[in-house]
Structure 1
Amino acid sequence: MSDQFREVTNVSWFGRIKRAVGGVLVGMLLVVAMVVVLFWNEGRAVTTARSLAEGAGAVVSVPVDKIDAVNEGELVHTTGPLTSSEGVGDPDFAIEAKGVRLVRNVEMFQWVENSKSETNTKLGGGEETITTYSYAKEWQDRPIASAEFKQPANHQNPSMELGSRSFQISEGKLGAFTLDEPMLDRIGDTDPLTITPSQLAGITAAYSGTERVSIIDGRIFIGANPTSPAIGDYRIGYQLVPLGEISVIGRQTGDRFSPYQTVAGDELLMVDTGRVPAEKMFAEAVSVNTIVTWLVRAGCLLLLALGFGLLLAPLGVLADVIPFVGSIVRMGTGLIAFVLALLLGSATIAVAWFWYRPLLAIGIAVAGVLVALLLTRLGRRKVAAAPPQAGATA
């Protein structure tokens, strides 16, 4: 049987109008939601910036090998080697290592459905869509529901019995300080852990299944033929978060660290790999806050444009009675949606600035007015100083 399947669907002009009108409600909800998110994002950015500035001014760097009761409840920074008497391991395959966390990544060879659609508008406003479904065998780290394929016959995937997991130490030591699981969870830099052929015997003994186990390219392969995998075969790789130098900023609570509540509103608890000064950790956090703020702004503006596009979509559908006219109308509504998104998004950000940062916003507004007045006055002086043109003689 072919690994491609074509499906042709037709929607009448009235059906498209009904669908577009339904999209208007979605567009309205999307516009309102993005305005709310934009406003919230400005407040979040201000709160985080103020909290980081407050923390940077209050933090105290302390030695890692001694706990001073004077700093109890204060925001402290320390750096040093992370150690642990525990190891991490995957009992399902007898994999053991020294580190903070062992991450098992499981992939299964499965059928995957891909689709490609081509839509044409017909005279009279109707729409024809030709969708081509194709099927390929790929390694996937999540189960693919083959029963939902358009053509499930001969493309069936078995259930995924093995899954990705992580194994973490319960406690670590940073000099005289103790790091519990919430702190260890924040350490995320991983290195690949290569599985060697010498481990095969132990892996095979620990594995509860009956399939053949091999070591290929530093990973575990479960299946009959590693060079020609079959549907349902597995390959398993590992990554390790190693022990090593780390830096911590948090509230000193006994011999542990907890979130430090700032007056500005945010809680501060930071972990970084390597020996990182407090100033650099705060500078990096400020940069992350700026990046997140702009990413949210950009995402909201795009979704605002999409929302306005849905609001204006019925116009394009109505004009599709003559296809080329509909295309022209959609170009116009797309441009209008983009402009409306910029205007509403900018206005929302401006209002949020006046709400969350009134002094700064007023200062910028006053500066803008002064610049405008100055440019206007300079323009008038240039006009007044310009030599009069010679008049025409009778």
Structure 2
Amino acid sequence: MDLRKGISMRGLALNMTGALLVLAGVGLVAMTSRGLLNYRAAATRHGGEVMNLGIDAQPQAGQHGYMVRLVGTPTVVEAPHDPEFNLRVNTPVLVRHVEMFQWREVRIGDGVHYELDWVDRLLDASRFKEPAGHANPTSFPIGGKQFDAGLVQMGGFKLGPVLVQALPGSQRVTPDPKSLPENLVASFSRHQDYLVTSASPGDPRLGDVRVSWDEVPLQQVTVVGRLDGDQLVAATDAADGKGYDVQVGDVPVLDMFPDLPVPPESVMSERLLAVLLAVLGAFLLLSTQRNQRDVLLALGLGGLAVGIVASVLWIGGDTRTLCGWLAVALLSLLLTVWRLRRHR
């Protein structure tokens, strides 16, 4: 009786352990799949799951249409040019600022006073409380403007216009009066980082103009965008209405898009572990059935359990992954049927 009881308890323990291992395998693949699906669903808001290309990567076959993360320092191949001032700068974006020395109205409480200052827009003196004696010019002789580089690259990829304009940072450009066209040499002189029309730059007069330029510095940046051939562009179909991001330095994707959940790591390893747990559980369950220790049958049953659960979870998700799990389930089913027929 004690021997039979011991055998019965051993069988019960094996059955419970086997069942728990099968459930652990199914649960692990379900958790991994759900985590990956949640991550991809969130990533779709920004254009899709991001492929990490790393630093100064080169185009590879099969990357077209993917969202990618690229790190590097932009290279300006065709520099922007301000033709009116004959200024060319090795920068992705060059911005010209124009200011005029004008009267401006300053209100402090109920008091009003007027002072001359540099302003980057026309001030209509007719709207002043006391317009007499504070008349301003009626137009700017030249306007501000932005000039984008004709071609900017990172690694082996060209940056689209939207991404070029999104490159961060700004620093002042020191103009060279010697490069001025002949028609402007008599009008402008350099004062600090400006070109000014003032006869006495330290003592400007009403209507004097000063021009300055800012450039986007060449620095390491991280760019996320969609690959269109060898060009990196914005994903116009992204739900966030942007479809790209650019930040200074080597920035991880999760820092660029804080709303993304943390994706599961070592996905392939977890999938293999899930199958192995289910196979081991099935083997233990089979071993209590008349000592039927058939490894191939256990492999078929474990793979079938995990494959069916994973296939159901991936319905409506990634087609390639769904087909892969369906193949695992089908092969496991065929293996199970074959082994069961052999036993009969």
Residue 200 of structure 1 deviates from its aligned partner by: 2.2
**Structural mapping, 1:181-330, within 5 Å:** 181-195=161-175, 199-203=176-180, 205=182, 207=184, 211=187, 213-260=188-235, 266-283=241-258
2:51 to 41, 60, 68: 60
Q: Does the 8 Å CA contact 1:51/1:262 hold for their aligned counterparts? A: no
Match of 2:155 in 1: 175
| Residues 308-340 of structure 1: CA deviation (Å, up to 9, x unaligned) | xxxxxxxxxxxxxxxxxxxxxxxxxxxxxxxxx
Alpha-carbon distance between aligned partners in 1 of 2:180 and 2:237, rounded to the nearest angstrom: 49
1:104 to 92, 96, 103: 96
SS in 2 for 1:247: strand
SS in 1 for 2:146: strand
SS in 1 for 2:77: coil
Q: Does the 8 Å CA contact 1:82/1:174 hold for their aligned counterparts? A: yes
Residue 112 of structure 1 deviates from its aligned partner by: 0.5
Alpha-carbon distance between aligned partners in 2 of 1:174 and 1:148, rounded to the nearest angstrom: 50
Match of 2:310 in 1: none
Alpha-carbon distance between aligned partners in 1 of 2:196 and 2:234, rounded to the nearest angstrom: 43
**Structural mapping, 1:111-130, within 5 Å:** 111-118=103-110
**Structural mapping, 1:158-173, within 5 Å:** 158=137, 159-173=139-153
Change (3 A) 1:99 1:258: closer
The letter of the residue matching 2:84 is: D
Normalised to the residue count of structure 2, the TM-score between the two structures is 0.56
Residue 249 of structure 1 deviates from its aligned partner by: 1.0
Alpha-carbon distance between aligned partners in 1 of 2:216 and 2:247, rounded to the nearest angstrom: 13
The letter of the residue matching 1:160 is: F
Alpha-carbon distance between aligned partners in 2 of 1:206 and 1:102, rounded to the nearest angstrom: 22
The answer to whether structure 1 residue 77 and structure 2 residue 52 are counterparts is no
Normalised to the residue count of structure 1, the TM-score between the two structures is 0.50
* The structure with more helix, counted as a fraction of residues: 1
| Residues 37-67 of structure 1: CA deviation (Å, up to 9, x unaligned) | xxxxxxxxxxxxx745865982210254322
Match of 2:9 in 1: none
Change (3 A) 1:147 1:229: same
Residue 99 of structure 1 deviates from its aligned partner by: 0.8
The letter of the residue matching 2:184 is: Y
How many residues are treated as equivalent by the alignment?
A: 218
Alpha-carbon distance between aligned partners in 2 of 1:143 and 1:191, rounded to the nearest angstrom: 25
Alpha-carbon distance between aligned partners in 2 of 1:271 and 1:88, rounded to the nearest angstrom: 20
| Residues 104-162 of structure 1: CA deviation (Å, up to 9, x unaligned) | 121111001123454xxxxxxxxxxxxx4321111111111112222222211112222
Change (3 A) 1:265 1:96: closer
Residue 101 of structure 1 deviates from its aligned partner by: 1.1
Alpha-carbon distance between aligned partners in 2 of 1:87 and 1:201, rounded to the nearest angstrom: 19
1:134 to 113, 134, 138: 113
The letter of the residue matching 2:53 is: V
The letter of the residue matching 1:89 is: H
Match of 1:350 in 2: none
Alpha-carbon distance between aligned partners in 2 of 1:232 and 1:115, rounded to the nearest angstrom: 22
Residue 263 of structure 1 deviates from its aligned partner by: 8.1
Residue 281 of structure 1 deviates from its aligned partner by: 2.0
Match of 1:330 in 2: none
Note the residue ranges of structure 2 that are not aligned, 5 or more in a row: 1-40, 261-344
